[in-house]
Amino acid sequence: MTIRWGLCGAGKISHDFSVAMKTLPPRDHQVIRANRSTLFQRLMAATRSWPMTRTLVSYEQYVHVAELNICVLTDIVYLGVLHTEHWRVGLLFLKAGKNVLCEKPFAMNSRQVKDLVAAAKKNNVFLMEAIWSRCFPVHAEVRRLLAEEAVGEVKLVKAYFGSPQLHIPRSVEKELGGGALLDIGVYCLQFILMVFNGERPESIQATGVLLDSGVDESVVVVMKFSRNRMAFCSFSIAARLANDAVISGTRGSIKVLGPMHCPTTLVVNDKETEYPLPEPHLPLNFTNSTGLRYEAEEVRQCLLKGLKESPRMPLADSVLLTEIMDEIRKQVGVVFSQDSQ
């Protein structure tokens, strides 16, 4: 069965997602392009010069005019718009009965995430937060090793992600949903939750420094889980960090090397294994972006099975993840306008 994708958002990540699709069998995945609808073409041409806040009108018309070919012919929409628009645009598609794969962060806070989850359940459609690292072979192997207690009982998890990006407006401006936490810290936190099987931490302690714009530049988080297990993570959009993770157990360790969001190397008790990615047919904007193929195929398998969420990235994990991020922002002092709406 071919899964027909509609790409909502024309940014860098949407480009990379479409390039990654080309590494998969065309009989399994097809991107439905906007030029199939002359009405949609006119709609986008009319809004091309509008400010971002006004282009949302095009999304509303895209969803509400159901006879548009681009809407009717898609099985699922990949949502690759700005962080601040995930909630609004996501709700439009979900209420229109469309399956949605929404880029991370799912939304700006846990209230918005719960709105998306509720809308998906009410309309009986598939919904997944696009934490693509959860679908990588490295993470699948980590889950297998943990299930087999290959390193004994896990006692400490450490994760680091630092990438200098103070020059990128999307990363530093509050109005665009900037900050280290929402952009890259989410990958450290989701990894910790995956290791601890979606367990809620008993305590969270966070500290960080803010930019003049009011978003977080660098953050350190310590979490305590049941049975005296600990997790530590640090992330920054000002400094380049190790960009790896270590799971320490009573009988050994598991190291995930490479970028936290797209790892391709695993070291288990000093034995290293590589998981190479296919080469892209076009230049990519982000590191290892052909790995988005794993996420797309995970969605396909879920849809074929009639699932409404992914077992690799359950909606409960997304809700808990955002609740943890809310608490971290509270302790660090980051407040978005969406928090009071």
Domain map of the chain by residue range? 3-132, 133-275+313-340
Write out pLDDT tens, residues 96-134. Answer: 899 999 999 999 999 999 999 999 999 999 999 999 999
pLDDT at site 11? 83
Q: Residue 235: name the closest of 179, 197, 170 by CA.
A: 179
How large a percentage of the chain has pLDDT more than 70? 88
So what CATH class is 133-275+313-340?
A: alpha beta
pTM confidence score: 0.90
Q: For residue range 24-68, what is the model confidence (pLDDT) as tens digits? A: 999 999 987 544 344 444 444 443 443 333 333 455 555 544 434
Crossing angle of helices 315-332 and 110-122, in 10° steps, is 160
Report the alpha-carbon distance of residue 105 to residue 107 in Å, rounded.
5
21: nearest Cα among 62, 76, 58, 68: 76
Q: Is the dihedral of CA 310, 314, 315, 321 positive or negative?
A: negative
What distance in Å separates the CA atoms of residue 15 and residue 145, rounded to the nearest whole number? 34
pLDDT at 78: 94
User: What single letter denotes the amino acid at residue 310?
Assistant: S
Q: Measured between alpha carbons, how far is 337 from 341 in angstroms, rounded to an integer?
A: 7
pLDDT of 308 over the 90 cut: yes
Indicate the SS3 state at residue 163: coil
State the pLDDT at residue 51: 37
Q: Which pLDDT band holds residue 69 (cuts at 50, 70, 90)?
A: very low
Residues sharing a CB contact under 8 Å with residue 141, sequence separation 6 or more, in sequence order: 266, 273
Q: What mean pLDDT do residues 5-9 have?
A: 88
- Average pLDDT over the chain reads 90
At the topology level of CATH, where does 3-132 sit? Rossmann fold (3.40.50)
Distance CA 231, CA 229 (A): 7
Which residues lie below 8 Å from residue 55, measured CB to CB, with a gap of 6+?
47
* Angstrom distance (rounded) from CA 108 to CA 212: 20
Chain centroid offset of residue 250 CA: 31
Query: Which secondary structure element, helix H or strand E, spans residue 42, and what is its range?
Result: helix 38-47
pLDDT per residue as tens digits for the range 269-303: 999 999 999 999 999 999 999 999 999 999 999 99
**E-assigned strand segments in the chain:** 3-8, 29-32, 76-79, 99-103, 127-130, 154-162, 203-210, 216-225, 229-236, 245-249, 252-257, 265-268, 271-274
Q: What is the mean pLDDT of residues 303-330?
A: 98
> For residue range 210-260, what is the model confidence (pLDDT) as tens digits?
999 999 999 999 999 999 999 999 999 999 999 999 999 999 999 999 899
